[in-house]
Structure 1
Amino acid sequence: MTQPFSPIASRRHFLRSTSAGFGYLAFAEMAARVAAAESSQQNPLAPKTPHFPAKAKRVIFLYMDGAPSHLDTFDYKPQLIADDGKAGKYGGTLWGSPFEFSRHGDSGLWISELFPNVARHADDLALIRSMHCDQPAHPSAMVQMHTGTSTFIRPSLGSWVVYGLGTENENMPGFLSLTPPAAGAPSYNSAFLPSVYSGSRLGRGSGRRSGPQKAIDIDNPNLSRQDQRRQIDFIQQLNRGMLDRSTGSQRNIEGVIESFELGYRMQDTMPQLMDTSQETAQTLQQYGIGNSATDSFGRQCLMARGFVEAGVRFVEISYGIWDHHSKLSENLPTRCEAVDLPIAGLLKDLKERDMLKDTLVIWGGEFGRTPNRQGRDGRDHINKGYTLWMAGGGVKGGVSYGATDEHGYEAVENPVHIHDWRATILHLLGLDHEQLTYRHAGRDYRLTDVHGNIAHDIIA
């Protein structure tokens, strides 16, 4: 897939060409082509046909900012527990998980006691226990997870998905990022893709103090809707005049024009979708809303369900802080409690609405934690082996794919690199990661660069 047709650029070319001496027939033929293209493709967020039949139509990505310990949540290591206190193969003192694991569901997946509610959905989960990436530092690993590289500014996963598929609600962005990390612009940035594919940020910061979600600058208390429309029309006239006078590609200006129109339309739709007052008491309880421990994340999960139900293509919820170098035994249970019930509520809600089958839900952080004890009660970073899980959207449920070594240090069976993970996500959405490209700086770029193998064994 190359960059989409631009009706605005074509209009400029059309006007210049006709003024240079096109005959009447050529003039009419070009006018008809431009008009047809404008009628079908003038909205870059319009739904697009995938490369092949898709299993998933939309994505909810639950990003656990700070890297949860796989060894204490979803990667059961009995040998690590047995070797607690011994010297590790790579130095340090081994520390077996202080939390109990047990089997769940008909599939018998091993899940920690820290996720009792998610564990009830074990038969919907595909645990990828052999993830690995290139970076052991938070900022670079977070950027690589979202964009495919840790060294350059590249479009985020959500931006690529919306570029490839568009969205199903013309009054909403195709990509919403709820409480992204403080330095997390790369996680929702469109980089060299047109800016209309950038994620729209809701809320600030993914830490424990994340407050109620709010769409920044969604309303204008100083102007009526009629006056806003007049103001935007005037600004758009100036923008289009600049386009007509410019030469070459002006994607930034075109993106601004589209974003202004989208922002105007969002004023009616966004507040309605963010309003949870019409939900039943049972639904609110199911998401943990009203409980101080789960209210914040529960509201985000409930809004995410509303957003994807309304046609938003990609929603990411960031939640931290999972960086437990100390006090893991105390702080990890608190983090897990905050997200466990809301996630289970989301999965249940999607299933009851018959949406889980084509909604891909993803959970995980940027890397894992060491099997060695750090200090008295902590684990350090590790990028050679960790766990993510997926549910719905065409993934097999109740499966454990790949494995780390007996102590959970590195992936040794069916390793899944972060490039493979993104290629698999695109595949589930009906997109060929080798064909989803965009021409920039003289070459075709893609989300997986020159890498990526699809994990077919987790696909239903």
Structure 2
Amino acid sequence: MTPYQRTQLLQTRRHFLAKGSHLLGTAALASLASPLITSQNAFAANSGEVPLHFAPRAKRVIYLHMVGGPSQMDLFDYKPAMQAMFDKDLPESIRQGQRLTTMTSGQSRFPIAPSKYAFKQYGECGMWMNAELLPYLSKKADEICWMRSLHTEAINHEPAIAAMQTGNQITGRPCLGSWASYGLGSMNENLPSFVVLVATPKNREQEQAISSRLWSSGYLPGEHAGVSFRSSGDPILYINNPPGVPDGVRRRTIDGLNTLNQLNYDAIGDPETHTRIQQYEMAFRMQASVPELTDIRTETQATFDLYGEDAKKPGSFANSVLMARRLAERGVRFVQIYHNNWDHHSNVAGRMPDQCKDVDQPCAALLDDLRQRGMLDDTLVIWGGEFGRTIYTQGKLSKENYGRDHHPRCFTMWMAGGGSRPGQIYGETDDFSYNIVRDPLHIRDFHATVLNLLGYDHERLSYKHQGLDQKLTGVEPAHVVNDLMA
């Protein structure tokens, strides 16, 4: 007798009745209500594990994460008053005893470093943007929902990225992509519902370590973890048959493994065994779908011109964004792209142009490409990092160059398409881009809003784990921000 069978025999009558306490009533209610449900809530049918709570505005997400924390005051948060305060110390009334990283906590001074870049207002919304480094994205000002008041408690990269991706500074929780996969499922049985691409920046001066724990499914079933596509060699390890092994042999091998795993699952009931069966099947189906997906030679020259010359280079940000569009087009629910080297502790003048050149044209192209294909209205594009940067310099200061430390109190992100409100500028910071003075937006609120756009109430999208109904937004208050939605 197996441990699982012994557990079943030890159940009391009370346990048994508690499990089915509402079965008959639920069945009767379902039979009476089914016509109403079918007619009014057709949107609730999806291939995931959780019915939609209301009609979604977005069917899929492309999330562009800038690893390291982009400098908001050098890109999107214009602070002209700082020009007159060059090299003056940041007032204590502004810093307010904020916790600092060990990289600047020992400094005797906190000299203000105004942005060296010129800014202009763009679009009818009047968004101030870096006029030198963002020539393509600046033309999309009225198509983008700007969020200038994001904030978080995390001050170092590892906990900050974990918080931004999973809602918690402690690693091991499911990330946003896994929650989307868990709820929505896939629109293509031959591809994963959640795919991760790690783009290689041109400038590799100071990259942060990133790993698969950021796209882990945590306590959710394993099939909702992100599947990482590689930029060289086989897109996925072992996707192709070994030499001398035809498809028929591999099919029979998988069938045999699945039979053994099913026997084990029937006896023990371990959900990880069920996940393994699904992963073997998905891997076999992907043998046919992935080669076609990754063959970008089918794209037109006009598309390559749109994304830029790097679009043909495997592993580049432009190539990754083009691949994200192809994945979304084929039914992948959530595509996560990581672009590294935004940790500007020094040499902002030397590195920011490279970083912006990497992402500016491809990001603008993605919006155009999705719109041309009729996909932008139901594809949510997200851009941002894990925190912002300080107005004061780290290390040596000159008018031509400077560095900036981590800053969690305020930073800028943007969204486009997928039901977000175009031309919205949400939130405002003080003259130092240090504290929020209007409409603070915690990352929990951001997560709640994204889930809302996907058709889910963040309070109700949960998973039972360790006796608790676990949620992306955790137990702290989180609010959907209606001003961010069209």
- TM-score normalised by L of structure 2: 0.81
CA distance in 2, matches of 1:293, 1:76: 34
Do the aligned partners of 1:368 and 1:387 also contact (CA within 8 Å) in 2? yes
CA distance in 1, matches of 2:142, 2:234: 31
1:94 lines up with 2:107 in the alignment: no
Q: Give the direction of change, closer, same or farther, for the CA distance of 1:136–1:307 in structure 2 (3 Å limit).
A: same
Instruction: Tell me the CA shift for residue 219 of structure 1.
Output: 1.0
Instruction: Tell me the CA shift for residue 104 of structure 1.
Output: 1.1
1:343 lines up with 2:345 in the alignment: no
User: Where does residue 221 of structure 1 map in the other structure?
Assistant: 242
Q: 1:154-184 CA distances to partner (integer Å, 9 max, x unpaired)?
A: 1111000111111100111000010187433
Q: 1:46-90 CA distances to partner (integer Å, 9 max, x unpaired)?
A: 586411011111000000011110110111111223322221123
User: Where does residue 76 of structure 2 map in the other structure?
Assistant: 74
**How do 1:276-315 residues align onto structure 2 when only pairs under 5 Å count?**
276-290=296-310, 296-315=316-335
- Aligned residue for 1:305, secondary structure, equals helix
Q: Pick the aligned partner of 1:381 from 398, 406, 421.
A: 406
User: Where does residue 19 of structure 2 map in the other structure?
Assistant: none
1:146 lines up with 2:165 in the alignment: yes
CA distance in 1, matches of 2:436, 2:140: 25
Do the aligned partners of 1:177 and 1:199 also contact (CA within 8 Å) in 2? yes
Percent identity for Structure 1 against Structure 2: 41
Q: 1:394-433 CA distances to partner (integer Å, 9 max, x unpaired)?
A: 1111111001111101222111111111111000111100
Indicate the RMSD between aligned Cα atoms, in angstroms: 2.2
User: Where does residue 206 of structure 1 map in the other structure?
Assistant: none
User: Where does residue 25 of structure 2 map in the other structure?
Assistant: none
CA distance in 2, matches of 1:344, 1:437: 35
Unaligned 5+ segments in structure 2 are 9-45, 96-108, 200-207, 397-401
User: Where does residue 30 of structure 1 map in the other structure?
Assistant: none
User: Where does residue 26 of structure 2 map in the other structure?
Assistant: none
**How do 1:313-392 residues align onto structure 2 when only pairs under 5 Å count?**
313-376=333-396, 377-392=402-417
User: Where does residue 159 of structure 1 map in the other structure?
Assistant: 178
Counterpart of 2:71 in structure 1: which amino acid? S
User: Where does residue 456 of structure 1 map in the other structure?
Assistant: 482
CA distance in 1, matches of 2:150, 2:372: 30
Do the aligned partners of 2:312 and 2:319 also contact (CA within 8 Å) in 1? no
Counterpart of 2:258 in structure 1: which amino acid? Q
User: Where does residue 103 of structure 2 map in the other structure?
Assistant: none
Q: Give the direction of change, closer, same or farther, for the CA distance of 1:294–1:363 in structure 2 (3 Å limit).
A: farther
User: Where does residue 244 of structure 1 map in the other structure?
Assistant: 266
Q: Give the direction of change, closer, same or farther, for the CA distance of 1:295–1:105 in structure 2 (3 Å limit).
A: farther
User: Where does residue 104 of structure 1 map in the other structure?
Assistant: 122
- Aligned residue for 2:298, secondary structure, equals coil
CA distance in 2, matches of 1:264, 1:330: 46
User: Where does residue 214 of structure 2 map in the other structure?
Assistant: 187
Do the aligned partners of 2:444 and 2:478 also contact (CA within 8 Å) in 1? yes
User: Where does residue 123 of structure 1 map in the other structure?
Assistant: 142
Counterpart of 2:55 in structure 1: which amino acid? P
Q: 1:80-135 CA distances to partner (integer Å, 9 max, x unpaired)?
A: 23322221123611111001110112222111122110111111111100000111
Do the aligned partners of 1:129 and 1:386 also contact (CA within 8 Å) in 2? yes
Instruction: Tell me the CA shift for residue 151 of structure 1.
Output: 2.2
Unaligned 5+ segments in structure 1 are 1-8, 14-43, 204-209
CA distance in 1, matches of 2:59, 2:233: 28
Do the aligned partners of 1:45 and 1:170 also contact (CA within 8 Å) in 2? no
Instruction: Tell me the CA shift for residue 300 of structure 1.
Output: 0.5
Q: 1:227-283 CA distances to partner (integer Å, 9 max, x unpaired)?
A: 11000001011101111222xx41111111111111111111112111110111110
Instruction: Tell me the CA shift for residue 374 of structure 1.
Output: 1.3
Do the aligned partners of 1:132 and 1:383 also contact (CA within 8 Å) in 2? yes
Count of residue pairs the alignment pairs up: 413
Counterpart of 1:394 in structure 2: which amino acid? G
User: Where does residue 225 of structure 2 map in the other structure?
Assistant: 198
User: Where does residue 261 of structure 1 map in the other structure?
Assistant: 281
Moved more, 173-182 or 427-436: 173-182
Instruction: Tell me the CA shift for residue 314 of structure 1.
Output: 0.2
- TM-score normalised by L of structure 1: 0.86
Instruction: Tell me the CA shift for residue 294 of structure 1.
Output: 10
Instruction: Tell me the CA shift for residue 293 of structure 1.
Output: 9.5
- Aligned residue for 1:298, secondary structure, equals helix
User: Where does residue 430 of structure 1 map in the other structure?
Assistant: 455
Q: 1:308-331 CA distances to partner (integer Å, 9 max, x unpaired)?
A: 111100000000111111111111
Do the aligned partners of 1:175 and 1:198 also contact (CA within 8 Å) in 2? yes
